[in-house]
């Protein structure tokens, strides 16, 4: 099993290109099930989760081809992939595929909408909390589906098609918003989704669906209205930049010092997180096509943050920010409100010398002047990169094990950091 070795102490200077967003690419890929025309997605990141979803879609009969590079493109340019779901050959998403990635459960919405039936294994994914699928199932039932849970599978039917409805999410859920919005595009009549997720990835999916012929209003607000249509057509759509990757590298620069230009991204996608970074002492300047991040003197200031649905502080940046706060000159508090088990990185950061204590869903982080390298274990996708951020300043050598978690969400991480002066190496295991 591969591992990453980091020798800390180098400031980051240079340019890091930001990849297409994993959290946008996955629902966009699943949306290709809604039409028998070709859908072309540009700026698709090369990640383990993307490859896994390609296998899952292939199980349903989706063909795909990866376009070759064109003049002017380089290694930083995301892939262009053509998807064709002309014939759905199987409406079953089996356990051996779905158990490896939670988002693959989302195929239940498009399959139900287009085929009137789906049998989908209950999901797997990162062990960061229960994340039940009740919201998905309740919403699809409100759209007229009959769903039974049996032997670890959701067996769903809508023999006469889905029917528009008004559904109020009892709590904000990005995944359930994706699924119900996709399903409602082919439902009869109007669907109104209340307390919907407002994340940029939801807006990106809505924009793609609208270019396919869907009638959607209000994406990016708490109320989304969808007027169902008889069928959707093909389209060409570019995946938006990854705001979580953007924030992660911005925090790495704030941690190590230096000056880095993050390209192919948009500062407006993560205003809240960048505000917290500015409070911590980083200088951030929005530039055309990206942003510049620097910390060329002065210490790291302690900042209290609480995760919240967009536009609040992203839960997917909580672990990285905690890594940064381990070196702050004072005490910070980080409260997690989205997932109940997303502090598994605390014990691993403590192995590097961090002082962190937990009280319920709040972590108290007492900054230390020095972190020291040690072997650590990645526990989930975002936790793993928090260990990398800490390792970049730790004295000596840090070895991060189980880095397959990193490969699920960060494209060419070692290459991007090495290009800015980090001493980081992947060791095949």
* In the chain, domain spans: 3-19+241-427, 22-238
Strands (E), 60-163: 63-66, 79-84, 92-93, 117-121, 146-150, 153-157
Q: What is the pLDDT of residue 260?
A: 98
Tell whether 131 is in a known binding site. Answer: yes
Say which CATH class 3-19+241-427 falls into.
alpha beta
Tell whether 311 is in a known binding site. Answer: no
Per-residue model confidence as pLDDT tens digits over 249-260: 999 999 999 999
Helix axes 22-31, 108-115, angle to 10 degrees: 20
DSSP-H helix ranges across 217-351: 243-256, 271-279, 318-325, 345-351
Cα distance between residue 191 and residue 67, in whole Å: 36
Specify whether the CB–CB gap between 36 and 281 falls below 8 A: no
Q: How far apart are the first and last CA of the chain?
A: 4
Percent over 70 (pLDDT), the chain: 96
Specify whether the CB–CB gap between 186 and 179 falls below 8 A: no
Specify whether the CB–CB gap between 239 and 43 falls below 8 A: yes
Specify whether the CB–CB gap between 255 and 324 falls below 8 A: yes
Cα distance between residue 114 and residue 37, in whole Å: 13
Catalytic residues: 126
Tell whether 385 is in a known binding site. Answer: no
Specify whether the CB–CB gap between 378 and 410 falls below 8 A: no
Whether residue 219 is preceded by a cis peptide bond, meaning omega within 30 degrees of 0, is no
What is the Cα Rg of the chain in Å?
A: 22
Tell whether 23 is in a known binding site. Answer: yes
DSSP class of residue 72?
T
Tell whether 171 is in a known binding site. Answer: yes
Q: What is the pLDDT of residue 72?
A: 66
Tell whether 132 is in a known binding site. Answer: yes
Specify whether the CB–CB gap between 316 and 307 falls below 8 A: no
Longest dimension (CA), the chain: 65
Q: What is the pLDDT of residue 212?
A: 98
Specify whether the CB–CB gap between 46 and 267 falls below 8 A: no
Q: What is the pLDDT of residue 124?
A: 54
CA distances, 135 to each of 24, 139, 250 (Å): 20, 6, 33
- CATH among 3.65.10.10, 3.30.360.10, 3.40.50.300, 3.40.1160.10 for 22-238: 3.65.10.10
Per-residue model confidence as pLDDT tens digits over 96-124: 998 888 889 999 999 999 999 999 998 85
**Mean pLDDT, rounded, of the chain:** 94
Tell whether 423 is in a known binding site. Answer: no
Cα distance between residue 84 and residue 50, in whole Å: 16
Stretches in the chain below the pLDDT threshold 70: 70-76, 124-132
Per-residue model confidence as pLDDT tens digits over 370-403: 999 999 998 888 789 999 999 999 999 999 999 9
Q: Decide if 3-19+241-427 and 22-238 have a common fold.
A: yes
Kindly give, in sequence order, each residue whose CB lies less than 8 Å from that of residue 320, ignoring residues fewer than 6 positions away: 247, 248, 251, 252, 382, 385, 386, 389
Cα distance between residue 333 and residue 325, in whole Å: 9
């Amino acid at each position: 099993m591969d591992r990453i070795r980091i020798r800390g102490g180098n400031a980051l200077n240079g340019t890091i290109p930001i990849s297409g967003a994993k959290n946008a690419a996955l629902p966009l890929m699943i949306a290709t099930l809604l039409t028998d025309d070709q859908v072309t997605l540009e700026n698709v990141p090369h990640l383990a989760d993307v490859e896994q979803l390609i296998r899952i879609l292939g199980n349903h009969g989706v063909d795909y081809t990866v376009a070759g590079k064109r003049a002017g493109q380089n290694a930083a340019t995301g892939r262009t992939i053509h998807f064709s779901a002309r014939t759905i050959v199987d409406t079953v998403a089996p356990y051996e595929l779905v158990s490896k990635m939670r988002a693959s459960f989302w195929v239940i919405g498009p399959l139900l909408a287009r085929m009137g039936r789906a049998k989908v294994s209950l999901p797997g994914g990162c062990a960061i909390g229960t994340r039940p699928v009740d919201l998905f199932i309740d919403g699809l039932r409100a759209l007229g589906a009959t769903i039974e849970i049996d032997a670890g599978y959701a067996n769903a039917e809508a023999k006469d098609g889905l029917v528009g409805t008004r559904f109020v999410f009892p709590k904000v859920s990005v995944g359930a918003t994706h699924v119900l919005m996709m399903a409602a595009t082919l439902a009869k009549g109007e669907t109104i989704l209340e307390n919907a997720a407002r994340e940029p990835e939801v807006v990106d999916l809505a924009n793609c669906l609208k270019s396919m012929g869907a009638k959607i209003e209000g994406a990016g607000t708490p109320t989304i209205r969808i007027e169902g249509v008889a069928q959707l057509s093909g389209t060409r759509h570019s995946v938006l930049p990854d705001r979580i990757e953007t924030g992660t590298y911005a925090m790495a620069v704030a941690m190590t010092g230096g000056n880095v230009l993050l390209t192919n991204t948009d500062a407006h996608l993560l205003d809240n997180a960048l505000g917290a970074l500015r409070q911590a002492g980083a200088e951030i300047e929005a530039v055309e096509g990206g942003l510049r991040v620097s910390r060329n003197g002065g210490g790291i200031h302690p900042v209290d943050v609480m995760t919240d649905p967009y536009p609040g502080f992203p839960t997917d940046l909580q672990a990285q920010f905690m890594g940064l706060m381990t070196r702050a000159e004072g005490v910070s508090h980080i409260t997690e409100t989205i997932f109940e088990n997303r502090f598994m990185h605390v014990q691993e950061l403590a192995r590097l010398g961090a002082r962190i204590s937990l009280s319920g869903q709040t972590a108290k982080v007492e900054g230390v002047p020095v972190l020291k390298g040690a072997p650590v274990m990645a526990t989930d996708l975002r936790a793993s990169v928090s260990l990398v951020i800490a390792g970049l300043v730790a004295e000596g050598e840090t070895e991060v094990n189980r880095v397959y978690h990193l490969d699920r969400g960060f494209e060419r991480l070692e290459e991007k950091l090495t290009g800015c002066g980090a001493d980081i190496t992947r060791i095949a295991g």
